[in-house]
Amino acid sequence: MSKVIRIGTRDSELALWQATTVKEQLEALGHETTLVPVKSTGDLVLDKPLYELGITGIFTKTLDVAMLKGEIDIAVHSMKDVPTALPKGIVQAAVLERGNHFDILAFKNNEEFLAQKDAVIATGSLRRKAQWLNRYPTHTVVDLRGNVNSRLEKLNTNDWNGAIFAAAGLQRIGLQPEHTIGLTWMVPAPAQGAIMVVAKEEDEFVREACAELNHGATAICVQLEREFLRILEGGCTAPIGAHAFIDKNDQVTLKGVLLSYDGKRKLEAEYSAPLGLHKNLGRDCANSILARGGKLLVNQTHGGTLKTHIFSTKNLSQNQLQLFKQGVTVKSEDFIKISPNRLPKTLLTQELENVIITSKNGVESLATQAPDTLKFKNIYCVGRKTKRLIEKRIGPVKHQAIDAKELAKYLVEYMEGLEVTYFCSNLSMDDLPNILEENNITVHKVETYTTKHAPSEVDKEIEGILFFSPSGVESYLLKNRPDKTAYCIGETTAEEARKHFRNVKVAKIPVVESVIELVNGDY
């Protein structure tokens, strides 16, 4: 029995172009059709990034409801917007032949900003943002929402260098910005450039009609990409890219990528297999990434679905993140920014009898500016890692203490002479110099590097904060409340934390790994 097939679609220009394409192809096969435009939540809420809306399938949910209520027979979607798990009762009816799968950069005047330290790029996609920052870490990425036309208009009216778009979207509605660059290095979203048709599982007539539109090669490739996405548990809340293709020799290749929000961490995998033996490529790529730290990375980016227990005020390495107990989810961010100060050459070349260095940042600043001219007779330091770095970059250490107070007590007792040069930060604590000066030792403070607070707001649900310096505690308190457990790397940091936090714990050894042991002991 023939019937008019009601085609549900979003009402943006691009969505209507895609739905009209499906309509024309179905009518060419002899079917009667009509378009039913509706507006989705993703089109209505434009003042927040997609990942903050916390809705799976934000551009498809309204159409899913309309279909299950019997108001439409099929829905047409940009396939990259469709969740990997379709609602019960709705099935994939067809995938049209894929268009251009690349992302492109539209820019205003010239490309010079690509070689410059500072530039502003606009995109509403976490995947695009993370990959851009991975390639251009000093650039700034701002949020950009709306349909294709409004996003292009915003590029022209804002002080941005460029904005990132899906090439297929621009091409389909005939928009050709004057200046563009194909981002062939950027891994696209799974199924980018493909159009998907869904129907009710029980509607055999409509499913059979749509099956004639299906493009086999595209269906194979996007299935692999979406399987990769499904296993990594991604969606709008994780920076995940995937692209599969079939070459002229019927070899199927899939490349997948997972990144941290800030683009600093990136995991890639690429696998190939002959057509017919390709079905496990999505699983193999995903498992390869998960085995190399991907699970932790997914947990960090899954703030909307997984509870985060711990926040570190210092960026942690993948190896350090692996040390947390299974089930403990962690976010990390540098709350302190360090920049070395230029020191006078006379200071860096003169002989100094007694020198104090209390941090690795001080070592790096000194060693970078004067790797061969430093003439320090007696070097005193705080911490084993600082000692190792000093002996690697500068010279032998006479004595190393566990914290600044312990070092001060030692110097009062055993140091030769009554003068010491203290290489420190602009925000260093006064305990050490105060103790020395109270005991008639003259302290020459040299601000070797500048420490700047760079805090952000921490989620209320987080239970514990990792601190690695008193400055980190100060920075945290600029935007957050002291209502969590403070895990501190050493007694000096803990002393500052106790002024504000009720529950303060101190690592047995002043190293990151020992702080992580503290956390694991509580979980």
Q: Name the catalytic one among 64, 81, 203, 403.
A: 81
Tokens of 190: 């799974």
**C-beta of residue 204 within 8 angstroms of C-beta of residue 105:** no
Which residues pair with residue 452 across a beta bridge? 337
- C-alpha distance across the termini of the chain, in Å: 62
Q: 3-state DSSP call for residue 263?
A: coil
**C-beta of residue 16 within 8 angstroms of C-beta of residue 35:** yes
With vertex at residue 285, the alpha carbon angle to CA 283 and CA 291, rounded to the nearest 5 degrees, is 95
Q: Give CA–CA dist 259/186, Å, rounded.
A: 12
**Residue among 13, 17, 27, 21 at smallest CA distance from 5:** 27
**C-beta of residue 187 within 8 angstroms of C-beta of residue 242:** yes
Residues present in the chain in total = 523
With vertex at residue 317, the alpha carbon angle to CA 523 and CA 380, rounded to the nearest 5 degrees, is 100
Question: What residues contact 54, with CB distance under 8 A and at least 6 apart?
Answer: 237, 304
Q: Give CA–CA dist 523/521, Å, rounded.
A: 6
Residue 112 phi/psi, 5° resolution?
A: -60, -30
Q: 3-state DSSP call for residue 198?
A: strand
Q: Where are the alpha helices (DSSP H) in 328-425?
A: 345-349, 360-369, 384-393, 404-414
**C-beta of residue 7 within 8 angstroms of C-beta of residue 66:** no
Q: Give CA–CA dist 282/270, Å, rounded.
A: 10
Q: Give CA–CA dist 74/64, Å, rounded.
A: 9
Tell me how far CA of residue 404 lies from CA of 93, 377, 395, 412, in angstroms. 68, 20, 20, 12
Rg of the Cα atoms in the chain: 29
Q: Give the DSSP letter of residue 214.
A: -
| Residue 81 annotated in active site | yes
Beta strand 195-200 with 90-95 is antiparallel
Query: E strands along 67-208, which residues?
Result: 74-78, 90-95, 103-107, 120-122, 140-142, 162-166, 180-183, 195-200
The amino acid at residue 400 is Q
- Active-site residues, by number, are 81
